[in-house]
Amino acid sequence: MAEREITPEERQTVIELVARARAAMAAAESFDQARVDRLCRAVAWAGGNLATATRLAEMSVAESGMGSPEPSRRGKVLGILRDALRQKSIGVIEEIPEKGIVKYAKPAGVIAGLIPVTSPYVTPIGIAIYALKCRDAVIFAPHPGSRRTTNETVRLLRAALQELGAPADLLQCVERPSIPVAQALMASCDLTIATGGPPMVRAAYSSGKPAYGVGAGNATMVIDDSADVAEAAKNSAISKTNDHGSGCSADGNLVVDSTIYDALLAGLQAEGGYVVNAEEKELLRKAYWDEHGRRTADTIARPAHAVAQKAGFSLPAGKTFLIVPEDKIGKAHLFSTEKLGIVLAVFRYSGFDMALDIVRRIFETGGRGHSCGIYSFNDDHINRLALMAPVSRIMVRQIQSRANAGTFTNGMPMTSSMGCGIWGGNITNENISLKHYMNVTWVSRPIPEDKPSEEELFGEFYNSTTFDSPVVAR
């Protein structure tokens, strides 16, 4: 189907949204660090207090059918607020005396925030905190499948701004989202933060304006023979079932040493996993993907019993995720690809070289640049995985779905948006955090000369053979 043109009414809506955002930024230009920090706290509380977060989570599930009604991602709001409050974002933010460098922060401008259907309230709150900290304005473009939840979230954040006498239009939301509106918005704003599917990320990069996009996940966890099997099973179950596996960081594949494979499988079942048999595996494949290999929308981030029911089999009570023993890898073998739900593929290996080869082959099917993890106390294994895995982040003995985007027990910057680097078609490997929401001016003062001699720079090649071709007279 051909993509439709933007309507005159939609174009005018975008023009008005951007104009109001720029006016709000101008009104906030004089806000000092203390005032923007207060605004960050206010909007974080408005959308992230337990009662409101619970209501928004329930609203999200009722609207989209995806995810869990428990506000399991609320902790991300707290973490983003913590990180934002601990950093400077106005005036001088860093000094390097030995280099004569002083850095000054400036706003990035008006930001287009593309919000995914799987995170319609936490992602807007996180973007709002970082943007307000830098005196940016944001226009949120929600996914049509969760637009009411995102609009309600932004309404709450705007009310918090108004309560403190700040311009509410620092945060706005498109009421009737569409692809043409999102494209016009990205082309009109100064920066796009695109947290969503590959088509929207590609559109952000082709908008003609700077953009931070994210890549697809296919999180793969190696569990070696030194692992704490009970810990690995428990953490994998938590990661897989958190928000019914809606996040791109949720465990998708486990690569397990053969000597602990049976114990790990038993541990996963004790944590709520159900091992499908060969017949159920084929039924699940047909329910989870259509005939073209595309994920079926009504199985994304849905409860395990609902997925099983659609597939045509039933689950015992207490089972919350589906375990698929697998030994085939590739785009034609769909259980080795990204799953976005409660299905977990489990591979067996003998010898760590085989584990690394399985990881390599899995990422050739998709998910390059995103993440993997390892349950191991063997530093050589951790190092070897880190040297070869084409990913931007590797979590060691952690709940992957939480740890990738930062937790209170690791040092990753808190975020809802994760860059996947050149591997994933993104401009950065980093977690999108405060520094990505600002412009920075470098002021350089003279320092004593720091110029090594040519002999020191060229080393063994100094005064060695040169390769000039002789000039031939004509």
| Contact assessment for residue 301 and residue 245, using Cβ atoms and an 8 Å cutoff | yes
pLDDT of res. 189 = 97
| pLDDT tens per residue across span 18-27 | 999 999 999 9
pLDDT at 290: 95
Task: Provide mean pLDDT across the span 106-135.
Answer: 96
Q: Is the pLDDT of residue 255 over 60?
A: yes
pLDDT tens digits for range 210-253:
999 888 899 999 999 999 999 999 999 999 999 899 888 999 99
**pLDDT of res. 240:** 96
Cβ atoms < 10 Å from Cβ of 399:
22
CA distance 377 to 194: 36
Is residue 258 predicted with pLDDT exceeding 60?
yes
pLDDT score for 207: 87
User: Cβ distance 337 to 317 under 8 Å?
Assistant: no
- The string of pLDDT tens digits covering residues 47-61 is 999 999 999 999 999
Q: Could you read off the pLDDT of 316-360 as tens digits, one per residue?
A: 999 999 999 999 999 999 999 999 999 999 999 999 999 999 999
Rounded CA gap, 243 and 416, in Å?
Answer: 14
Q: Which amino acid is at 422?
A: I
For the chain, percent of residues with pLDDT exceeding 70: 99
Per-residue pLDDT band for 473 (boundaries 50, 70, 90) equals: low
Question: What's the angle, vertex CA 330, arms to CA 325 and CA 335, rounded to 5?
Answer: 35
Find the helix or strand (DSSP H, E) in which 375 lies: strand 369-375
- Given this model, what pLDDT does residue 24 score? 98
E strands, 151-242, in order: 171-173, 191-194, 211-213, 220-223
pLDDT range class, residue 1, cuts 50, 70, 90? very low
Q: For residue range 431-446, list pLDDT tens digits in order.
A: 999 999 999 999 999 9
Catalytic positions: 248
The mean predicted confidence, pLDDT, of the chain is: 95
d(CA 342, CA 322): 6
Q: Which of 176, 133, 174, 177 is nearest to 31 (CA)?
A: 133
Segment 382-405, tens digit of pLDDT: 999 999 999 999 999 999 999 999
What is the rounded distance in angstroms from the CA atom of residue 178 to the CA atom of residue 325?
A: 40
DSSP secondary structure letters along 402-436: HHTT--TTS-SPP-S-B--TGGGT-S-SSB--GGG
In terms of phi and psi (left: phi > 0; alpha: psi -120 to 50; beta: otherwise), the region of 165 is: left
Q: Across residues 447-459, what is the average pLDDT?
A: 97
Q: Is the pLDDT of residue 181 over 50?
A: yes
Place of tokens 């090594």: 452
**Phi, psi (5° rounding) for residue 355?**
-60, -45
CA dihedral sign of residues 66, 72, 74, 79: negative
What is the helix (H) or strand (E) element at residue 346, kind and residue range? Answer: strand 343-349
pLDDT at 315 over 90: yes
